[in-house]
Amino acid sequence: MLQSHNATTPWTGRPIVLVGLMGVGKSTVGRRLAHRLRLPFADADEEIEAAAGMTIAEIFDRFGEPYFRDGERRVIHRLIDGTPKVIATGGGAFINEETRALILSQAIAIWLHAHPDVLAERVRRRDTRPLLRGRDPRQVLADLARVRDPLYALAPIHVASQKAPHEATVSAILQALPEMNGQP
């Protein structure tokens, strides 16, 4: 059995990529995890917005979801450059077969998961998510979970994001990371 990673030493293994549904805490947990591991942090959604010069909602409105997903795939490919870092992906990134294959082969994928009720409560706080506009967040998230969870489950590490401080999720990830940097 693998030992957990000791957070007092910097991570020198493959990039760590957080995947999961919107609202599960990938960005917040990712920032905190990167800090604990003394690594750079990259939020794929922020990188996409910076590259496009517009928000994700604007990209969806102007060009559609397929265009956004293609840009997302390219940005994640650029971020996974072999250097140690923590990367938070958008909820749909891991669904793209090419992106998923890249993450699984070149990084350590961690699926953060939570019940759709917990996620719906979290996403109601912000009105910036294109897939939720004018729809019931609980129903959308339950539908997305049915389709996406089997793909997220391909990640070798699964961590529950509970109704608890984000540090609890960070600690659970640190416990799940292999002690020997770079091992899947």
Q: Domain ranges in the chain?
A: 37-107, 111-177
User: Per-residue confidence at 11, pLDDT binned at 50, 70, 90?
Assistant: confident
Query: What sign for the dihedral angle of Cα 173, 166, 98, 135?
Result: positive
Residue among 107, 112, 124 nearest 29 (CA): 112
- Strand order across the 108-113 sheet: 41-43, 86-88, 16-19, 108-113, 157-160
> If DSSP codes are grouped into helix, strand and coil, which group holds residue 159?
strand
How does residue 22 score in pLDDT terms, banded at 50, 70 and 90?
A: confident
C-alpha distances in Å from residue 149, one per residue of 19, 73, 103, 178: 10, 19, 16, 23
Q: In the 8-state DSSP scheme, what is residue 155?
A: S
* CA 70/CA 37 separation, integer angstroms: 30
Contacts 24+ apart (CB under 8 A), 52-58: 55/128, 56/90, 56/128, 56/130, 57/128, 57/129, 57/130
Specify the CATH superfamily of domain 37-107.
Answer: P-loop containing nucleotide triphosphate hydrolases (3.40.50.300)
Least confident of 64-68, 132-136, 153-157: 132-136
141 or 132, higher pLDDT: 141
Q: Which of 59, 29, 145 is nearest to 95 (CA)?
A: 145
Token pair for 40? 């750079």
Q: pLDDT digits over 33-89, tens only?
A: 999 999 999 999 999 999 999 998 899 889 998 899 899 999 999 999 989 999 999
Q: pLDDT, tens digit, for every residue of 102-121?
A: 999 999 999 999 888 888 77
